[in-house]
Amino acid sequence: MVCCIASYKMSGKLGIPALLLFIIVGMLFGSEGIFKIQFEDYEFAEYICKVALLFIMFYGGFGTNWSHAKPVFAKAVTMSTLGVVLTTAAVGLFCHFVLKIGLIESFLLGSVISSTDAASVFSILRSKKLNLKHGLASLLEVESGSNDPFSYMLTMIFLEIMSASGQTEPIWRMVIEEIALGAFGGFLIAFLGRYLLRRLRIKNAGMNMIFMAALAVLSFALPMLVGGNGFLSVYIAGMILGNSKIRYKAELVHFFDGVTCFMQIIVFFLLGLLSVPSNIWSVALPSVLIALFLTFIARPISTLLLMSPFRMPIKQQALVAWSGLRGAASVLFAIIVMVSGVKTQNNFYHIVLLISMLSVMFQGSLLPMVARKLDLVDDDESVMKTFNDYQDEGDVSFVEMKVWNNSAWVGRSLEQIKIPRDRLVVLVKREDENIVPDGSTVIEAGDVLVFACMAYRAEDDVGLTEVEITGGHKWRNKPVCELDLPQGALVVMIKRDTGAVIAGGNTVIKKNDTLVLSMPK
């Protein structure tokens, strides 16, 4: 875990997605790495990956902002259903006729790698703060979160066909049952969970998080027990709960963000640990050929065929095609093939692992550049608005500002003052009177204006630190403008016995003051 987190910090400097570095760390610990850990338990890896993926998909649904996703929902669902089928067919035909793999095994391989990976897409969009124009971030988010169930169904269908016992029930019935029971389970658990949350009114944030985690597990496990699609169920349940008015939503977002990061580290490290690098080299040629075909032919063709009826411009189609990252879900399905007992001619695990690594390495690394070259990056909005992270009541902060005698605002109406567009004066406090203002309200000296503005969320590049001023401190009795502050530091507030002081350049530092500094991390 320590090594993976250290590699995460390096990923930004190296320009390599962190998920790829997690796999590499796993390989370094593996049987042919530095630490020589012998790990070949595919069944254990399958179990862990399923548990991890259910939380990743639940949070993917929980974070889906329905108001942003609704306009592109039809496109996303088309890509996550028909797109999976077309990709499976294209890759299957390529593997059979070009790589000379058996027909059913070719389609099995195509189904395994037909879905885009939610963990990879979410990770890159968030880590690069990459918001896309025309709702494309929402489209990719919904597609990657909802196509795993269909890839899983196709994988199970072809495994059923290849199994020695043969097909036990019609394929159409299996598909209908999985979709219907999975969707019903997701809706049922979500609405039941929402009802209980509102009735119980849990006032402890920690208990609320545990309850929500239990709902995530239930929404996956119960449909699986009766033959439904757990991946579809858990995504639907997450989406409904994430777009509901429930307590502690901001805390839940932070909780699941941490859980998801933990699960991503576990999964990708485990995939690297399970791999044998010499086996990767042995399947390098077919893996690279499949990856190239998938990236430059199969995905673009399926995108063109499915998005053209929606009159999506070619530039947007090109970005959607490039954003078809493969990752943990595909490798999990390959593990399912390995433990199914079905005999295949090829090493599914290492073929799919290498394809996923190449996808994350090249498509993931170049995604920001491709988006900018196509002029589809929206720098005016935060990508986090695409997710539900910012959809909590705590998104709005209220800030007071006193108007001094020498202010240029004195004697002017609000409509004459240039106030940033994302701020609104909601109250004017004047002596013992509270005024709800409009554009004609004239500002007077001594007024206290109350602004509503977007709440700030701390990013990795800025931090706050405190400095206590003791009797012998070198800053004591000095004005702020004369302090030898660290490079990039700013005194944002002074905590004093009389209360908080917003410091100006002439504010004198006193004994027992506590300075709050803003400075780069």
pLDDT at site 41: 93
Q: What confidence tier does 431 reach under pLDDT thresholds 50, 70, 90?
A: confident
Query: For the segment 464-475, what is each residue's pLDDT rounded down to a tens digit?
Result: 788 889 888 999
For residue 45, what pLDDT band results from cuts at 50, 70 and 90?
A: very high
State mean pLDDT over 348-353: 95
Q: Judge whether 393-454 and 462-520 match in fold.
A: yes
* pLDDT given for residue 370 in this prediction: 93
Given the candidates 3.30.70.1450, 3.30.559.10, 3.40.50.1700, 3.40.50.720, the CATH classification of the domain at 462-520 is 3.30.70.1450
CB count in 10 Å sphere of residue 210: 13
CA distance 185 to 217: 12
Where in the chain are the domains? Answer: 42-170+275-389, 393-454, 462-520
Question: Which DSSP state fits 147?
Answer: S
Q: Which residue has the higher pLDDT, 78 or 133?
A: 78
**What is the rounded distance in angstroms from the CA atom of residue 368 to the CA atom of residue 483?**
41
With 50 as the cut, is the pLDDT of residue 393 above it? no
Question: Considering the entire predicted model, what is its pTM?
Answer: 0.74
- Residue 84 CA to its chain's centroid (Å): 21
Angstrom distance (rounded) from CA 495 to CA 513: 6
The string of DSSP codes covering 219-270 is HHHHHHHTT--HHHHHHHHHHHHHTS--TTHHHHHHHHHHHHHHHHHHHHHH
Distance CA 98, CA 286 (A): 10
Say how far apart CA 410 and CA 282 lie, in whole Å.
77
Structure tokens at 256: 């699941």
Q: Mean pLDDT across the chain, nearest whole number?
A: 87
Q: Are 365 and 127 in contact (CB under 8 A)?
A: no
Q: How far apart are CA 78 and CA 310, in angstroms?
A: 10
Evaluate if residue 205 carries a pLDDT over 80. yes
Read off the pLDDT of residues 130-182 as tens digits, 9 standing for 90 and up. 778 888 988 998 898 889 888 988 998 899 888 855 555 677 788 888 899 99
The predicted pLDDT at position 322 comes to: 95
pLDDT tens profile 295-338: 999 999 999 999 999 999 999 999 999 999 998 889 999 999 99
pLDDT band at 390 (very low <50, low <70, confident <90, very high): very low
Residue 412 has pLDDT above 60, yes or no: yes
The CATH number of 393-454, from 3.50.50.60, 3.30.70.1450, 3.40.1010.20, 3.65.10.10, is: 3.30.70.1450
| Tokens encoding 69 | 């996703």
Across 56-65, 118-127, 194-203, least confident range:
118-127
pLDDT tens figures, 271-293: 999 999 999 999 999 999 999 99
d(CA 81, CA 265): 28
Mean pLDDT for the stretch of residues 60-80: 88
